[in-house]
A and B are shown apart, each in its own frame.
Chain A
């Protein structure tokens, strides 16, 4: 489903974010990307999302080659990718329902289906009572659950999560991870994280990055640097 082959990403000032990185991620796989800050975790997520293009090497997602700078299929591909941002990116002037429904509107689903799907995913993340709340009325953990609900809603086959538990307390962190576990059988999930406990407990595939290089790829690994 996701294929990185000899991917290098460097920036004009000479910073190398990724250096000759290769890996494959299969459909419905759960993968942790770990590494210190600046190791290249976010660059990998941005390359999968098509927000970056590789300086050399090949990135293929869902049979779409994202390597050329100009790629016509990016919009279509992004409709199948849900992203959970570290800073949530929840729109303040829209309520919980409207925030989650954004992606479904983009997919041009009928209103009835949108209502159905949003309520289903709200139940999944435990926010069914708060669908008409505005972001300012929610806690950080609830906001992150809204972001996850938005990323999972609709026909999103890949979930990219960039430090989804970065600012959360341990209990909320586990609540979030439980949500991911509920959908892991039918979605490809890639989580970039620093959270040692989460990675060690979940026993999932772990890709370890250091200064832009892939140094370990463990099938059922723990947090190692």
Chain B
């Protein structure tokens, strides 16, 4: 550790250049991963909401609503239909606004409409179902979310593609910068490296201080990035909470495991930190390994 710090102190500008380059890449990568996860969570949330909701007028009787439900179920185009009575709606409203007594005081079960929440078997059935519901007697409003899902899906897809391209560009340029800086460092130590090789040092022995320094700077850069990112999140967390009020949780479906991205949890924050640190140390180590490889082969004439 002492040697590592001495080595960083002896090449301050090169170390700063490595740190800055890693800092920028890691910060933007973390931002991209965070936003993408959030978008995926949001997409999953929207997809899990009823795809078509019909709200009925106050005077529509429960038997006629249940008749519509029955017809929808018989159509073969519907996965499930959930009836939400006025009382169910009021119970849900109370749960969502339990922290706001003023809102609770102002609303009673009577003013909330009964509704049917419909999940189609295929997205292509949605326009047909919506069209049928628009002609139902006693309907107040038909809420058709296909457009929202489609827009979010295409937005996620564009963001993902752009993020991937940007991420690859960032990674490529960082590796080139780190390799160039390492070339400089190796050139400065050329005499020492030649001597060490003549004295029987293995390539690994010669490479070790360069690798240690790179991995250490990768660790420091990722920790600083994470600290700053956590600070920013801490500052904007209250406004995010206000904006996402009503959404209990957002998660990314990873097959057997559901990664909860909202509200922020220790598992998610810890996972992000571990990934970021491994990525920072990995990219710095990778670039240094390849930069030094060329100089460490024993050339026998």
A76 lies within 8 A of B300 (CB): no
A80→B199 CA distance, assembly (Å): 8
B199 lies within 8 A of A91 (CB): no
Report the minimal beta-carbon distance from B65 to chain A, rounded to whole angstroms: 82
A71→B300 CA distance, assembly (Å): 10
- Contact partners of A91 in chain B: CB under 8 A: 191-192, 195
Dominant SS among interface residues on chain A: loop
A52 lies within 8 A of B301 (CB): yes
Q: Is B298 close to A, CB under 8 A?
A: yes
A49 lies within 8 A of B198 (CB): yes
Could you say which of A76, A81, A106 contacts B205, with CB atoms under 8 Å apart?
Answer: A106
B198 lies within 8 A of A102 (CB): no
- Binary per-residue interface labels of chain A (83-113) against chain B in the complex, 1 for a CB within 8 Å, 0 otherwise: 1000001010100000000110011000000
- From residue 44 to 91 of chain A, which have CB atoms closer than 8 A to chain B? 49-53, 69, 71, 74-81, 83, 89, 91
- Contact partners of B201 in chain A: CB under 8 A: 75, 106
Residues of B within 8 A of A (CB-CB), count: 15
Range of interface residues on A (Cβ < 8 Å): 20 to 34
A15→B198 CA distance, assembly (Å): 24
Q: Is B270 close to A, CB under 8 A?
A: no
A74→B299 CA distance, assembly (Å): 11
Report the minimal beta-carbon distance from B276 to chain A, rounded to whole angstroms: 34
A102 lies within 8 A of B200 (CB): no
A75→B205 CA distance, assembly (Å): 11
- Contact partners of B198 in chain A: CB under 8 A: 49, 51, 78, 83
Chain A residues with a Cβ under 8 A of chain B: 11, 49-53, 69, 71, 74-81, 83, 89, 91, 93, 102-103, 106-107
Given A75-B200, A75-B202: 15 more A-B contacts, CB < 8 Å: A50-B300, A52-B300, A52-B301, A53-B301, A74-B298, A75-B201, A75-B298, A77-B200, A81-B200, A102-B195, A102-B196, A106-B196, A106-B199, A106-B200, A106-B201
